[in-house]
Structure formats: C-alpha cells, structure tokens
C-alpha cells in the first residue's frame, strides 16, 4: 500500500497573499515598481549591489538615449538639496545604435521588463531613436519630452501641448510598441497636454519629470550646477507629483491610458498614495541613491496594506481616491 501524497496547500480558510502583478500596456509587471530612467544606467548598475534583484521590480527604464552619442553637461552635474537632489547630467549616452547593438543583448529579459527612454533635440531625432528601438527586443519606449537640463528640445517640447502631441504622433507612426509619454510639471496645464498626447496615440504616461531648479555658491556667487539649472527630484517634490498624477488620471482613466506615478517615492506609504491617486505603477529613482534595496521593502508594504484592506490584487487600489471614480 502506497502512502498518500502529502498536501502542502494552505487550508481553505487561509486567504492567498495579495498579488502585486499587473498588466501595464500589455506588459506583465511582477510588481508595480519601475526603476526610473537615469537612476540605474542601462540596467547594469544596480545588479552589482549585493542583494539587489531585477525580479523585485516590474520594469527598468533605461537611461535617456539620443540618436548619436552625447557627452552631456559640464560639471557639477549633481548637488544634494534638502529632501532631494538637483541633477543636470545632460543626457550623456553612447547613442541608440550602441544601446541596441551592444547593451540590450546583455540584459536578461526573463527577469523584468525593459523600457527604452527616447530623447532628442528635434522631432526627426525622436523618430530616429524610436524607430531604432522598434527594431529591438525592448518591451516599451518612454518618450522624454520634458527633460529640464538640456538646452534644446526637452523643455520646449514638453511644456507646449501642441509640440508634445507632434512628437507623440511622429513616434507613433514608427513603432507598434507601447509608448509612454513623460510629462513635465513645468507647464501651465498638464491635463490639456495629457489630452493632446492621448489623441496623438500615447499608451501611457510617466508623471512627473523633475522640476526646474538651481543652487548658488554664495562664496563665488555662481551657480553650483554647471548647466546653471537642473532637475529637482526626491521627497521635496512628492506633493506636487501626487497632484499632477491625480489631475492626469482625471483625463486618462476614460481612455484606459495607464500612469506611472513618480516623484519622491521612498517607502511603501508613498507608493500607496500614488496608486490611490490613479497610478497603475510607481517610479522609484532618487531613493535608490541612498537605499539601493528599497524595492522589496516597498513591495512588502504594499502587499501588507492590500491584505489589511481585504484586497486580492493591487489593481483594486488604483484610482480609489475619494472624489474620483474607481479604476
């Protein structure tokens, strides 16, 4: 007589752990966390940190990439501020061909999703970069129309709804991959900009990019950042980012356009605020500079909140801010 097979399944009265998986523009995210562009290089920087794993995040957004290689801005490029940091890297990168031919083959696409960040000084350059990534294994493409630390393109495109829509429409024509438009907080009406980008064909938004700022050396009476101005990130901008996510969600929800909420997220509670405000995913960036292992902590906190509130799936929480319609 053979022994009965052992059953290790939990008893029926034990609820399964809440799921953090989600479908973001057709991509399977194992977690709502997205590592933000510029904070993890081309995906290889944090894999060298002991204990870090790409399997803890839904997606990694690669460093901003232009048509040709760029050296970026003169130093200083980074400056610590109260509750955050100021940066003006200037889109230093090896160019789209190098990224597609040399870097993408080194990434493990079984671990997580990888999102390219397409940048440019002209609409033609955006088209060139997006078309190059379209012919690659990259999972999605983020259009960086709102970079505040380059002298051309960037801010000009991102703060003008008409120009934003033109860039999105041009990129839409050369790729079938999901397009994520990165919106600038440095504009008059972010909802109008979002509406125009949806009409032009964007599949999702990243809300927000950094705010413009500067720092002054009082001894020399000069700007500390070599570019004079740069992008402010970190906890100081979280209240602004939250408001912008809620505003964009009012426009995006009717069209089922997803949002990556970002700006000052350092813990699970921060992430939960963004999800409640309307974000389907949350971007983590500046926090990685002082806590490279913050992602599993955020995941654990989100899961604990879902369990405490009898929610089986993180998507149930999206857009549940009172005064707005549920997701």
Contact 149, 214 (CB under 8 A): no
What pLDDT was estimated at residue 3? 58
Query: 294-308 and 268-277 helices cross at what angle (nearest 10)?
Result: 60
Give the pLDDT of residue 149: 45
Within 10 angstroms of residue 303's Cβ, the number of other Cβ atoms is: 18
Q: Is residue 161 part of a domain?
A: yes
Tokens read off for 49: 């940190």
Residue ranges in the chain assigned as alpha helix (H): 96-98, 123-134, 155-158, 161-172, 190-200, 238-252, 268-277, 294-308
10-residue mean pLDDT profile of the chain (327 residues): values are: 58 77 97 96 82 91 97 95 95 97 95 96 94 98 74 63 93 98 91 97 97 96 96 97 98 97 98 98 96 96 97 98 65
Positive or negative: CA dihedral 269, 273, 278, 281: negative
> How confident is the model at residue 188, as a pLDDT?
85
Ordered strands of the 78-81 beta sheet:
78-81, 84-87, 230-233, 211-213
Q: Is 298 inside a domain boundary? A: yes
C-alpha distances in Å from residue 169, one per residue of 107, 172, 192: 29, 5, 16
147 catalytic? Reply is yes
Domain count, the chain: 1
pLDDT score, position 148: 45
Please check whether residue 76 lies inside any domain of the structure.
no
Please indicate, yes or no, if residue 110 is contained in any of the structural domains.
yes
Q: 2 lies in a domain?
A: no
Distance, CA of 318 to CA of 320 (rounded, Å):
6
Block residue for tokens 């989100």: 302
CATH number for 201 = 3.20.20.70
Give the range of the structural domain holding residue 143, as residue numbers without chain letter.
22-66+89-211+230-317
**Omega cis (within 30) before 208:** yes
Q: Considering the domain boundaries, does residue 240 fall inside one?
A: yes
- Which one, of 211, 250, 262, lies nearest residue 88 by Cα? 211
Task: Give the Cβ contact number of residue 156 at 10 Å.
Answer: 14
Looking at residue 2, its pLDDT comes to 56
**Residue 101 in domain:** yes
What does the pLDDT read at residue 48? 78
Q: Which backbone phi and psi does 231 adopt, to 5 degrees?
A: -100, 130
> Residue 302: helix, strand or coil by DSSP?
helix
Catalytic, out of 25, 39, 61, 147: 147
- Contact 117/130 with Cβ under 8 angstroms? no
pTM: 0.92
Whether 324 maps to a domain, the answer reads no
Residues counted in the chain? 327
């Amino acid at each position: 007589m053979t022994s009965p097979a052992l059953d290790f399944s939990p008893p029926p009265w034990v609820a399964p752990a809440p799921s953090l998986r989600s479908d973001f523009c057709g991509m399977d995210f194992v977690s709502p966390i997205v590592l933000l562009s510029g904070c993890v290089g081309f995906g290889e920087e944090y894999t060298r940190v002991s204990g870090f794993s790409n399997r803890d995040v839904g997606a990694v957004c690669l460093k901003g990439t232009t048509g040709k290689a760029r050296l970026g801005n003169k130093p200083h490029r980074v400056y610590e501020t109260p509750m955050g940091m100021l940066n003006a890297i200037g889109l230093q990168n090896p160019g789209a061909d190098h990224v597609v031919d040399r870097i993408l083959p080194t990434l493990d696409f079984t671990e997580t999703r990888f999102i390219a960040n397409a940048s440019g000084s002209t609409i033609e350059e955006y088209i060139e970069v997006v078309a190059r990534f379209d012919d690659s294994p990259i999972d999605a493409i983020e259009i960086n129309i709102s970079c505040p630390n380059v002298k051309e393109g960037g801010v000009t495109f991102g703060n003008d709804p008409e120009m934003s829509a033109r860039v999105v429409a041009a990129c839409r024509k050369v790729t079938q991959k999901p397009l994520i438009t990165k919106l600038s907080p440095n504009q008059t009406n972010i909802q109008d900009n979002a509406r125009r980008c949806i009409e032009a064909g964007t599949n999702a938004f990243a809300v927000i990019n950094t705010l413009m700022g500067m720092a002054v050396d009082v001894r020399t009476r000069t700007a500390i950042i070599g570019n004079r101005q740069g992008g402010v990130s970190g906890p100081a901008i979280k209240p602004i980012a939250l408001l912008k996510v809620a505003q964009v969600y009012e426009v995006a929800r009717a069209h089922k356009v997803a949002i990556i909420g970002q700006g000052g997220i350092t813990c699970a509670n921060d992430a939960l605020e963004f999800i409640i405000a309307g974000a389907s995913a949350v971007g983590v960036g500046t926090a990685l500079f002082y806590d490279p292992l913050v992602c599993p902590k955020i995941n654990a906190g989100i899961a604990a909140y879902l369990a405490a509130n009898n929610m089986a799936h993180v998507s149930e929480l999206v857009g549940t801010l009172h005064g707005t319609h549920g997701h």
